[in-house]
Amino acid sequence: MSVRWETEGLQTVGIVCLVFMFLKLMHLLGLIDITETDSSDSDLELSTVRHQPEGLEQLQAQTKFTRKELQSLYRGFKNECPSGLVDEETFKSIYSQFFPQGDATTYAHFLFNAFDIDRNGSIRFEDFVIGLSVLLRGSVTEKLNWAFNLYDINKDGYITKEEMLAIMKSIYDMMGRYTYPSVRDDAPFEHVEKFFQKMDRNRDGVVTIDEFIETCQKDENIMSSMQLFENVI
Q: Per the domain annotation, does 207 fall within a domain?
A: yes
Nearest to 88 by CA among 71, 112, 107: 112
Q: pLDDT digit string (tens) for 165-201? A: 999 888 888 877 655 555 566 788 888 898 899 899 9
At 49 the three-state DSSP class reads: coil
Q: State how far the Cα of 210 lies from the Cα of 218, in Å rounded to an integer.
A: 13
Looking at mean pLDDT, say which of 52-56, 146-150, 201-205, 222-226 comes out highest: 201-205
Say whether pTM exceeds 0.95: no
Residue 199 within any structural domain of the chain: yes
- At 83-132, the pLDDT tens digits run 888 889 988 887 787 778 889 899 999 989 988 888 889 988 888 889 88
Domain count, the chain: 1
Residue 188 lies in a domain: yes
Report pLDDT for 159: 96
Distance CA 193, CA 204 (A): 13
For residue 221, being part of any structural domain is answered with yes
Beta bridge partners of 207: 159
First-to-final CA distance of the chain: 19
Report the candidate in 119, 27, 116 with the shortest Cα–Cα distance to residue 80.
Answer: 27
Is pLDDT at 13 greater than 50 in this prediction?
no
Amino acid identity, position 170? S
The most confident of the ranges 49-53, 180-184, 206-210 is 206-210
What is the CATH number for 28? 1.10.238.10
Question: Residues 6 or more apart from 155 whose CB is under 8 A from it?
Answer: 149
Q: How many angstroms separate the CA atoms of 80 and 94, rounded?
A: 10
Would you say residue 164 lies in a domain? Answer: yes
Q: Say what the pLDDT of residue 2 is.
A: 38
Tell me the residue range of the domain where 159 lies. 10-35+50-225
For the chain, what is the radius of gyration of the CA atoms? Answer: 18
The partner residues of 124 in beta bridges, in order of sequence, read 85
DSSP state of 186: T
Buried b / exposed e along 78-91 (16+ C-beta atoms within 10 A): beebeebbbebebb
Q: Is 3 inside any structural domain? A: no
Angle between helices 10-28 and 105-115 (to 10 degrees): 80
Residue 44 lies in a domain: no
Per-residue model confidence (pLDDT) at position 152: 95
**180 assigned to some structural domain:** yes
